[in-house]
Structure 1
Amino acid sequence: MTELAARNGNERAEALLRLTARLTELIQSETRMFQRRRPQDAVALQDEKSKLANIYRAEVARARAEPSRFAGASPAAKQALRQVTESFHAALAENSRAVTAMKIITEGVVRAIADEAARQRNTGNGYGPGAAQRPQRTGHVSIALNQTA
């Protein structure tokens, strides 16, 4: 299903109002999970969020192409739809900030791990100020065989 079930503009506005409110709730829940550094918990929301987002996108595109789809909607329904849409956009902005913060944190952790691994590979051989750097191993090993036996 990618279209709201409605017989007239008022029912369509009410259905889009419910859909947008639920989508906003899901986005806000996901944002809280990200802020608590528990993105794995948000996986459970993805299926419903994806389905609702697809219906929302399709319905908004239809409304832009055919504004008469909401003809007959009450002024109260139109006003409520404006308000829930503003809340939805605010929730999306907050979610975007949380996702960006998680990305920065994750990249920092990965960079720190890589830097530490590189540092450990380049640890000097020996003690004191004159200690030589150990040559980097490339995976090749030289061996000598003594054939006296």
Structure 2
Amino acid sequence: MSATPDDARARVEQLIILTDRLTGLVAEQAKCFEARRPQDALAFGEEVSRLANLYRHESARVRGAPALVAAAPRELRLRLVRSTEAFDAVLARQARAVGAAKTVTEGLVRAIAEEVASQRHKGVSYGANGVQSPAGAAVAITLNKRA
């Protein structure tokens, strides 16, 4: 299944545009996480999901049939390689930013839970033999996912 040079050129150009657009959106999301404003990253979520799905589909198609892009000019294929490398770098940056946000969030939740547990009134209860039962360390906490 060989593509004509014009078809291959058009496919590579479209892949470059798709990759660059996706790279830009993921970079914007990473900036939001780095600025400690993960809620702002939600604005890009739907478009990133749509483009990422399209990127996954198209890259799988090209991986399965390299002849689809083989007839494109070498310099254009090299531009696609550079775009893909930039995309990979931005994905790594976003992964670091999301990981840091996750660590901070988990630490905050743990600190809040410990503070709530330390301030709770520790009532005394008696067992069946009239002996005081040890205070339990279990604490229930409810979080609002939209907060």
What count of residue pairs does the alignment treat as equivalent? 121
TM-score by length of 2: 0.78
Match of 2:42 in 1: 43
Q: List structure 1 runs of 4+ shifted beyond 6 angstroms.
A: none
Give the Å deviation of 1:47: 1.0
Give the aligned CA root-mean-square deviation in angstroms: 1.8
> Deviation per CA, 1:10-32, whole angstroms, max 9, x where unpaired?
10000000000000000100000
C-alpha distance in 2 between matches for 1:122 and 1:63: 64
> Deviation per CA, 1:29-62, whole angstroms, max 9, x where unpaired?
0000000111111111011111100010001111
Give structure 2 stretches of 5+ with no counterpart. 1-5, 124-133, 136-147
Give the Å deviation of 1:71: 2.6
Match of 2:98 in 1: 99
Letter in 1 for 2:81: R
Matches within 5 A, 1:1-149: 8-121=7-120
Contact 1:10 1:71 in 2 (8 A): no
C-alpha distance in 2 between matches for 1:39 and 1:60: 28
Give the Å deviation of 1:85: 0.4
C-alpha distance in 1 between matches for 2:111 and 2:122: 16
C-alpha distance in 1 between matches for 2:48 and 2:103: 24
> Deviation per CA, 1:74-124, whole angstroms, max 9, x where unpaired?
111101001010000000000000000000000000000000001001569
Letter in 2 for 1:99: V
**Larger Rg computed on CA atoms:** 1
Contact 1:27 1:95 in 2 (8 A): yes
C-alpha distance in 1 between matches for 2:70 and 2:92: 30
Contact 1:27 1:91 in 2 (8 A): yes
What SS does structure 1 have at the residue aligned with 2:99? helix
